[in-house]
Amino acid sequence: MKHAALFTPIDMGRITLKNRIVLPPLTRQRSAQPGDIATDLMATYYRQRAGAGFMVSEGTQIEPRGQGYAWTPGIYSQAQIDGWRKVTEAVHAEGGVIFAQLWHVGRVSHNALQPDGQAPVAPSAIQAQKVKAFIQTGPGVGELVQPSLPRALELAEIRDLVGQYAQAARNAIDAGFDGVEIHSANGYLVNQFISAHSNQRDDAYGGSLENRLRFLREIVDAVAAAVGADRLGVRFTPLFTGTDQDRVYIGLVEEDPHTTYIEAIKVLEAAGVAYVSIAEADWDNAPDLPESFRRDVRANFSGKILYAGRYTAERGERLIEAGLADLIAFGRPFIANPDLPERIANGWPLNPLDPATVYGGAEKGLTDYPTYSD
């Protein structure tokens, strides 16, 4: 077997994973309309990839205001819970493990996606720049648009949102998920509270780093109380380079990302969560995270550490062997190769990804990629 370090079983919370290879959350925009409901086709997609040590679902909005892209699924209605149950049953029938990613985009949305055409919600009324929302313009068609100007959340609304995260976690467990991941990355709502660029509040949720981490802390504690910290992970995007303060699917660049995210990871350690997921910059020629940061993550967190970001099997194995990572996620390769773990283990060549079929559509680009044996 090639890359043996990727195929060592590992305990994560209450679950033993059969390998260290992870399918990360990947937006696919194929939920049933109306209602943003997971489908039989989505169940097939995840079932095909159940050879991963574990999978995290595509971002799944916790409430209607949490949507920033047409056709993404939710986890707040009974129909959505029932739809996701088809997915989890299909995955479990193959011996797989799957977590639900709990998602709220905050200001990265548009009036057309919001209930009654209202403004999106955010920590502060600061419009997102250099990112796009995606709205439907007709049956099965849509366009990227500039996010609308958000309004700042009231204190009572923030407390209500914490409760909605906890309820979404309960809904996910009811739907059969093995656990949940809080999406605190990529410039979305929780990341917006953490970042001084998007959070200019002067109350208990703004100003100091401790205050800007309060929303994260309250959500983590509420979700842990609802479903168990050993069934909980959190995803961050700590960027250490770049001048853009907003990058679609990337995140927000802090003045001191090392301190910001080590303090955020201390929040997770205090709660005893099962894992932290670090999504690295994944554009061409992006620099690696500093090794000093990786070592501080390990020093301050006793749960499992997952890295994602254009990893090869070789690079991921080196990080595991160095003791800096426990799990490695493969995004684009897993889209195009449903049998990715087998291909890695045997050194088989990979299918190329078709970028034109990543978002939206039907089975083409979702469930029609062949396995190596095919």
> For residue 337, what is the DSSP state?
-
- Given phi > 0 = left and psi -120 to 50 = alpha, else beta, which region is 62? alpha
pLDDT of 156 > 90? The answer is yes
Residue 352 CA to its chain's centroid (Å):
23
**Is 288's pLDDT higher than 90?**
no
- Mean pLDDT over all residues of the chain? 95
Using the predicted structure, report yes or no on whether residue 152 has a pLDDT greater than 70: yes
Quick one: average pLDDT of 206-227?
Answer: 98
pLDDT at 125 over 60: yes
Range scoring the smallest mean pLDDT among 152-161, 206-215, 241-250: 241-250
Domain definitions of the chain by residue range = 4-357
Mean pLDDT of 27-35: 98
pLDDT at 297 over 60: yes
55 φ, ψ to 5°? Answer: -120, 150
How far apart, in Å, are the Cα atoms of 325 and each of 10, 72, 275? Answer: 12, 30, 11
Instruction: Give the pLDDT score at 241.
Output: 62
Share of residues in the chain with pLDDT > 90 (%): 92
Q: Reply yes or no on whether the pLDDT at 282 is more than 80.
A: no
Buried b (16+ CB within 10 A) or exposed e, 44-76: bbbbbbbbbbbbbbbbbbbbebbbbbbbbbbbb
Confidence at residue 117, expressed as pLDDT on a 0 to 100 scale:
98
Range 4-357 has CATH code 3.20.20.70: yes
> Which region among 30-39, 70-79, 242-251, 365-374 has the lowest average model confidence (pLDDT)?
242-251
Rounded distance between C-alpha atoms, residue 41 and residue 162, angstroms? 31
- Cβ–Cβ < 8 Å for 340, 49: yes
45 a catalytic residue: no
Confidence of residue 243 (pLDDT cuts 50, 70, 90): very low
Q: Above 90 in pLDDT, residue 150?
A: yes
Q: Return the C-alpha torsion angle 114, 144, 251, 184, nearest 10.
A: 30
* DSSP annotation of 370: P
Q: Which of 76, 165, 188, 275 is catalytic?
A: 188
Q: Are 354 and 320 in contact (CB under 8 A)?
A: no
pTM of the model: 0.96
Q: How many residues does the chain have?
A: 374
- Segment 116-132 shows an average pLDDT of 96
Helices (H), the chain: 40-48, 78-93, 155-174, 189-194, 209-212, 214-227, 257-271, 291-300, 313-321, 332-336, 340-346
pLDDT of residue 300: 98
